[in-house]
Amino acid sequence: MQMKDKRALVIGVSNGLGVVFGKELLRNGVASNIVEKISDVFKESVKELGGLDIIINNAAMIDERNFHQSIDTNVTAVFRANMLGVQFMGKDCGGRGGVIVNVASVLGLEAFPQLPVYSATNNALIAFSRSFSQPYHYQRTGVRIVVLCPGLTDSKALECLKNDKLVTRLEDLSEAMKDIQPQR
């Protein structure tokens, strides 16, 4: 995809991968609206940028004790952003089509006992993205859905784990993750 002159909305850019995504889009000449939370951002972004071609859903949290908020952030908000993205970009709704990138985690590919809520929410996002990326939807809307599953990155999401009794050391997470294989 030619990036120059595309219009992007990046959700969840306060740190970590979101910052990297935002900077890379801007470096490649993509007009970007970078937001922290979803509200009327789709309407505002379409008005400000003249439409959307790319949406990156990067907002996430790790909080095993506050599972309602984790589900709202990691699942519900991303599902909603996908539906709004298709509504604003879909060819069947007058848009030009586009790409939605959902950022999940490698921890959603396998059961991960140290972070069961985070693992489950990422598994839900992966399953949703895989279902929504099928030709049935793409042929109708022209919106391609992609899911990325990176390993742990240095972000605020990991801050809550530093004093968590579920995870004694961040190094334990790295050790536990080294046997997880990418899905083909």
Residues catalogued as catalytic? 118
Contact 133, 88 (CB under 8 A): no
Q: Enter the tokens of residue 70.
A: 């984790």
Predicted pLDDT at 41: 78
- Residues in contact with 50: Cβ distance below 8 Å, sequence separation at least 6, in sequence order: 7
Cα 40 from Cα 24, distance rounded (Å): 24
Cα 56 from Cα 24, distance rounded (Å): 12
5-52 pLDDT, tens digit each:
778 787 765 555 555 555 565 566 555 555 555 656 788 888 888 999
Residues in the chain: 184
83-137 pLDDT, tens digit each:
999 999 999 999 999 999 999 999 999 888 888 999 999 999 999 999 999 999 9
Architecture of domain 7-180: 3-Layer(aba) Sandwich (3.40)
Domain spans of the chain, in order of start: 7-180
Q: Enter the tokens of residue 103.
A: 């950022």
| Alpha-carbon dihedral 133, 73, 112, 129, rounded to 10 degrees | 0
Contact 48, 4 (CB under 8 A): no
132-160 pLDDT, tens digit each:
999 999 999 999 999 999 876 555 555 55
